[in-house]
Structure 1
Amino acid sequence: MDFRVVFDLISNPEKIEPAYSFYALFFMIGIALLIAAILLRHRFTYWHAMSAFSVFFMGFSALMTSKEIEKTSRLRSLVESGQFTTIEGCLDYFKPGSRNSSRNMPTDERWSVNGTEFTYGAGEVRSGYHLVEPRGGAVHSNSKVRVSFVETERHNRREIVRLAVAEGTCPEAPTTDQ
């Protein structure tokens, strides 16, 4: 059976890096708020509060960035030292994710192989594999997968660091975990 590798951070651990641009966006918003507060200080009665908020916002953004750097560094070291688990098999169940993320509806893609569940969503910012089926993801209900992952402490999730798929080699998996 031929597996097609569709995602591989094990061979390329240098690609495991924080989403700097995502966090920089929040920092830039904080800077814009601070500049607006300074420029509007003669017209805006509560410019002190806006300045304080923008400094707090930038500090919070810096804190979240440092946490992301720490988490990503830990993931990279685990991958480089070979501390990941690999399992293979047909899917126990498969629930395709939604094309768009939403906080109001369950939109994550969910599937299980050999009793181990994997979840990820379209709008997530994370190092591991997270491409849902409606957006061109490689996992389908009739896929056989060979998945390598690292258990993460944060959010109690599994970061997929390598995914290989053999399409159409298994019976259709049920769409729920029953």
Structure 2
Amino acid sequence: MVTHPEAITPPYEYFVVFGLGAVLLAAIATFEWRRGRRPIRFLVFVVVWIMVAVYGGAVELSHVRKTRAKARSGTYQSVQGCLESFHPGKPYASKTVNADEVWSVGGERFQYGAGQGIFAWHRVETQGGAIHADSWVAVDFMRDEDDRRNDILRLAVRQHACPRAPDTLQLS
């Protein structure tokens, strides 16, 4: 993505889902209003839904714009070395971070999961991802302060080049 900043795009499928949800909710509210019902709680829900969707979309678009600009100007961060820790991710999407792959190198922590709708690298080891506990990595990334994560823009990996990193998140 560093060499092709135009590939950094927002997750448009989420905009479609939340937009269609807002249209559907507004249509139901209008239908109920015309039938003589005054569903005030439902109308409040619709307004809140639309406000949250617009705010979330604006935040994501702002982050994409900033990331593209930093990729073009080369002002992103870089780190390289053997992994300090590695927790493999699950091959399925989850509503919590329990299924996320988590690893660190050079004091920076990276966390992502299968099924995430982000532009950055997010393929976990169990789905054919390149990073393993004994990998050497070179990572170009940008900090996403809104989601408090590091978004991976470029990743170079050498397999079996390091001692195996411990799984510091392993649950007994």
TM over 0.5: yes
Q: Say if 1:125 and 1:33 are closer, same or farther in 2 by CA, change over 3 A.
A: same
The equivalent residue for 2:86 is: 94
Q: Provide TM-score, normalisation by structure 2.
A: 0.85
Pairing of 1:62-81 with structure 2 (within 5 A): 62-81=54-73
Equivalents in 1 of 2:96, 2:6: separation in Å?
A: 35
Q: Say if 1:32 and 1:86 are closer, same or farther in 2 by CA, change over 3 A.
A: same
Match 1:111 to one of 83, 103, 108:
103
Equivalents in 1 of 2:97, 2:61: separation in Å?
A: 29
The equivalent residue for 2:24 is: 32
Equivalents in 2 of 1:52, 1:59: separation in Å?
A: 11
CA contact (8 A) 1:88 1:147 kept: yes
CA contact (8 A) 2:116 2:122 kept: yes
Match 1:152 to one of 144, 148, 160:
144
Equivalents in 2 of 1:54, 1:151: separation in Å?
A: 33
Structure 2, unmatched stretches of 5+, are: none
Q: CA deviation at 1:171?
A: 2.3
CA distances 1:15-49 after superposition (whole Å, capped 9, x unpaired) = 11111221221111111122223334466845454
- How many aligned positions are there? 170
Q: CA deviation at 1:67?
A: 1.5
Q: Say if 1:163 and 1:31 are closer, same or farther in 2 by CA, change over 3 A.
A: same
CA contact (8 A) 2:97 2:113 kept: no
> Percent of aligned positions with the same letter in both sequences?
34
CA distances 1:112-162 after superposition (whole Å, capped 9, x unpaired) = 112322111223222211111112211111211111111222233211100
CA root-mean-square deviation: 2.3
